[in-house]
Amino acid sequence: MDRAKQESYQIEFTVGPEEGDRLLRSYLTGIRHLSAKALRRLKNRGTVLVNDVPVYLKSTIHAGDRIVLIYPPENDNPYLAAEEVQISIVYEDRDIMVLDKQAGVCVHPTKHYPRGTLANGVLFHWRKIGENSTIHFVNRLDRNTTGLVLLAKSTYGAQQFFRQQREGIVKKSYLALVQGEVQNNSGYIELPIAREDSPTTKRLISKEGKPSATHYQVAERFPGHTLLEVRLETGRTHQIRVHLSHLGYPIIGDSFYGGDTTLLNRQFLHAFRLVFEHPVSNEKMEFDAELPDELSSVLSEIKEKGS
């Protein structure tokens, strides 16, 4: 489909009673949180209107003014094809989409998994309903991790979520079943993570790595196992898996980081809660995803053995 024939993405604001009598640039960067770089890009490639008239960013705006940002159509990703892949849509509106990812599916194409990804399925869904949004993933999950994935459908939304992640507004929580009985009811792991010096996706704790922080608390205890609720402060590749394994509590099924595969042949890790602010309305949004049957069955089996 020809991207040039699509309508541009538009977003509209009305200047509030306490927001006027300032420069348009100040309003957009301060009140609407556009970065200086994003604003330059918008001015060069798109259009900024005040009361339907193109204006300079140094123009003064007043309470009640109507501001419209018009973003140009985004280019198609030539490496991403629409493909009928099963997706579970938890929520969708004009600006965002929340999905519940199943195990065994990559979020986006990779060298080893070029097709059959969540992104292929989302694009197929949009083409089927006649929508031409662009995929901007806010969070990503490993192929065998299940749970909630958030994406923005525009450059503006992606910019807002990037800011929210930087400011800690986006909160991601997981359930992880680990080997061993974790002693403390809660804890904080702050250990840098780096890629191994080999052609692999494996990560390890290293002083040369990137700062990484993970919060955890015990959700339920079992003989020989502990169910943890984990919240990420940073979002490094394999962060939860690496941190917990380093503490001596590898995730069940995660053979990559020392987990036992007797009960499960993929990691027991599920992104069950996602909290953020809507990029346009600023409404606080919270979503939960139940454990997949496969993981619930493992918990039931452990409980039966311990009873």
The residues annotated as belonging to the active site are 142
CB 146 within 8 A of CB 108: no
C-alpha to C-alpha distance for 86 and 121, rounded to whole angstroms: 6
The pairing of strands 269-277 and 146-152 is parallel
- Name the strand (E) or helix (H) holding 295: helix 293-306
CB 271 within 8 A of CB 145: yes
The token pair that represents 4 in the structure block: 């040039």
Chain centroid to Cα 210, Å, comes to 19
| Cβ neighbourhood burial of 15 (10 Å; 0-12, 13-18, 19+) | buried
C-alpha to C-alpha distance for 123 and 119, rounded to whole angstroms: 6
- What does the buried/exposed string (b/e) look like for 198-231 if buried means 16 or more CB atoms within 10 Å of the residue's CB? eeeeebbeeeebeebbbebebeeeeeebbbbbbb
